[in-house]
């Protein structure tokens, strides 16, 4: 029998209410909130809900197996010109993800489910307000995480362009290298680490073959596990986001970045619906929550970062994690570099978010779920959730004792 890799992601652990209500209140609040998800009536237990949302079970039993058409496309991909690849992806995205476009780029159902549970807890407890261990350090409204996947030697050559752009505006990011495709520039890897960037492992080769069979996956996993050590890396992203939560348990990363809240344009379209980190078996998952750079420019034909900024407004409203993937291979030159530059400048002018590396987010999220103290040894800040005319409002913890109303249920 397949173990339920998502079962620890209970609403109780998500909210960390203080004081914690009795189990029957939680159970009733969950039952009352399940209809918000709009899942089929048979999905009526928390276990099923978690598998259906975080586990992507709503896309069918064979979801993590690549379909034959998609498989053929990704086998041919190395031999096709880039313009043909993006035209095919657009076509594939609109065919495969046709019924997903209404939940992209914003998939709000799981988010509203969590909010509804807390509202139900208050109603069932006949309380006007309750405290919970706030999601992010120092009362920041949301987390902001920059990541890069380097797919080619040319991409590796362009890494310093992105690193310099980010550093100049006070940001640091994660760079994921593919161990066995291009000759690794070890000087660059160590220099990035010294400058405060984080290094991750992006598969072993950059192809769709890793998930061909379990045996093949196991073989590659062993090599990948060796690279966590060599790279001094804690995190992993699967090439082409081809993913399998069960098989990936044999990878020895602390956290993974191969899943996303919603994306109809990937080889395996779908999404975990969560805008926060969560647990998949033995590792922490940090889903990306902003459309990929290539989707934005090549598929949606965007010339500005507006789609990203709009999504950030949603993530901020629900105190989520804004996590983006940008490829130096095609975002470090020409007009598209300007789109990323504009995005970073716009973000640098905003405030109220926690700009963090994936490793720091993982530490924070794990300790928030398990420990009494934050990674820096402080007590966790408590936010208050309060009912105002039956709607939930979140009052953020702030350094002074004053509380600030910033978020509203809708």
Contact 153, 159 (CB under 8 A): no
Alpha helix ranges (H) inside 232-305: 293-294
Q: Which long-range contacts (CB under 8 A, 24 or more apart) does 395-402 make?
A: 396/134, 396/139, 396/141, 397/134, 397/139, 398/139, 399/138, 399/139
Written as six digits, the tokens of 247 are 């098989």
Of residues 53 and 208, the one with the C-beta less far from Zn ion: 208
Bridge partner residues of 408 (DSSP): 393
Total binding residues toward Zn ion, as defined by CB under 5 A: 3
How far does Cα 216 stand from its chain's mean position? Answer: 26
| Nearest CB to Zn ion, comparing residues 239 and 271 | 239
- Residue in 361, 393, 391 with CA at minimum distance from that of residue 135: 361
Q: For residues 11 and 203, which CB has a smaller minimum distance to Zn ion in the complex?
A: 203
Q: Considering the rule CB under 5 A, would residue 293 count as an interface residue with Zn ion?
A: no
Query: HSE-up of 109 (CA within 13 Å, CB side)?
Result: 20
CA distance linking residue 270 with residue 243, whole number of Å? 11
Shortest approach of Zn ion to residue 275 CB, angstroms? 22
Q: Which is nearer to Zn ion, 133 or 206 (CB)?
A: 206
In the complex, the smallest distance separating the C-beta of residue 222 from Zn ion, rounded to whole angstroms, is: 21
Stretch that binds Zn ion, among 1-9, 148-156, 224-232, 382-390 (CB under 5 A): 148-156
Task: In angstroms, give the least distance from the CB of 325 to Zn ion.
Answer: 8
DSSP state at residue 305: S
* Candidate ranges 113-121, 143-151, 375-383, 384-392; the one touching Zn ion (CB under 5 A): 143-151
Q: How far is the CB of 60 from Zn ion (least distance, A)?
A: 25
Give CA angle at 160 (158, 163), nearest 5°: 120
Compare residues 151 and 198 and give the one whose CB is closer to Zn ion: 151
The distance of Cα 185 from the centroid of its chain, to the nearest Å, equals 28
Decide whether 139 or 270 has the Cβ nearer to Zn ion.
Answer: 270
The residue number with the shortest CB distance to Zn ion is 149
Least distance CB 210 / Zn ion (angstroms): 12
Structure tokens given for 400: 């002074």
Structure tokens, 103: 């939940």
329 binds Zn ion (CB under 5 A): no
Closest approach, Cβ 328 to Zn ion, in A, equals 11
In the complex, minimum distance from the CB of residue 202 to Zn ion, in angstroms, rounded to a whole number: 6
Measured in residues, the chain has a length of 410
| 230-259 binders of Zn ion (CB under 5 A) | 239
Burial pattern 273-306, b for ≥16 Cβ within 10 A else e, equals bbbbbbbbeebbbbbbbbbbbbbbbbbeebeebe
Q: Which is nearer to Zn ion, 239 or 359 (CB)?
A: 239
Nearer to Zn ion, 200 or 239 (CB): 239
* CB-based contact 295:241 (threshold 8 Å): no
Which of 105, 203 has the CB closer to Zn ion? 203
Q: Does residue number 149 form part of the binding site for Zn ion (CB under 5 A)?
A: yes
| Contacting Zn ion within 178-237 (CB under 5 A) | none
Nearest-approach distance from CB 327 to Zn ion, in angstroms: 7
* In the complex, least distance from residue 267 CB atom to Zn ion, rounded to whole angstroms: 11
Backbone dihedral angles phi then psi of residue 312, each to the nearest 5 degrees: -60, -35
- CA–CA gap between residue 329 and residue 396 (Å, rounded): 39
Q: Which residues bind Zn ion (CB under 5 A)?
A: 149, 151, 239
């Amino acid at each position: 029998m397949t173990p339920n890799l998502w079962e620890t992601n209970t609403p109780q652990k998500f909210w960390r209410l203080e004081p914690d209500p009795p189990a029957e209140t939680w159970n009733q609040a969950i039952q009352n909130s399940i209809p918000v998800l709009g899942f089929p009536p048979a999905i009526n237990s928390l276990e099923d809900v978690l598998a259906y949302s975080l586990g992507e079970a709503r896309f069918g039993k064979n979801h993590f197996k690549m379909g034959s058409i998609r498989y053929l496309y990704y086998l041919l991909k190395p031999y096709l010109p880039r313009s043909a690849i993006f035209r095919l992806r657009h076509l594939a995205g609109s065919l495969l993800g046709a019924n997903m476009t209404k939940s992209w780029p914003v998939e709000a159902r799981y988010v509203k489910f969590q909010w509804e549970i807390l509202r139900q807890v208050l109603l069932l407890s006949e309380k006007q307000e309750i405290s919970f261990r706030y999601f992010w350090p120092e009362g920041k409204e949301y987390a902001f995480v920059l990541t890069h996947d380097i797919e080619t030697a040319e991409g590796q050559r362009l890494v310093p362009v992105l690193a310099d752009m980010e550093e100049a505006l006070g940001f640091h990011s994660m760079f994921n290298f593919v161990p066995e495709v291009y000759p690794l520039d070890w000087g660059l890897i160590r220099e990035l680490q010294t400058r405060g960037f984080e290094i991750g492992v992006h598969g072993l080769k950059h192809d769709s073959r890793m998930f061909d069979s379990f045996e093949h996956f196991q073989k590659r996993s062993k090599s990948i596990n060796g690279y966590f050590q060599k790279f001094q890396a804690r995190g992993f992203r699967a090439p082409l986001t081809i993913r399998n939560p069960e098989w990936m348990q044999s990878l020895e990363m602390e956290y993974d970045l191969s899943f996303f809240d919603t994306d109809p344009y990937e080889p395996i379209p779908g999404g975990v619906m969560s805008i926060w980190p969560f647990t998949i078996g033995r590792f922490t998952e940090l889903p990306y929550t902003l459309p990929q750079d290539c989707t934005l420019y090549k598929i949606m034909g965007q010339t500005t970062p507006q789609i990203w900024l709009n999504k950030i407004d949603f993530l901020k409203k629900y105190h989520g994690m804004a996590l983006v993937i940008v490829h130096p291979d095609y975002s470090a030159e020409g007009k598209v570099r300007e789109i990323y530059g504009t995005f970073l400048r716009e973000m640098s002018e905003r405030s109220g978010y926690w700009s963090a590396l994936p490793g720091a987010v993982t530490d924070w999220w794990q300790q928030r779920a398990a420990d009494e103290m934050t990674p820096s040894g402080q007590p966790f800040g408590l936010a208050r959730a309060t009912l105002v005319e039956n709607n939930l409002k979140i009052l953020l913890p702030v350094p002074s004792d004053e509380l600030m109303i910033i978020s509203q249920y809708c």
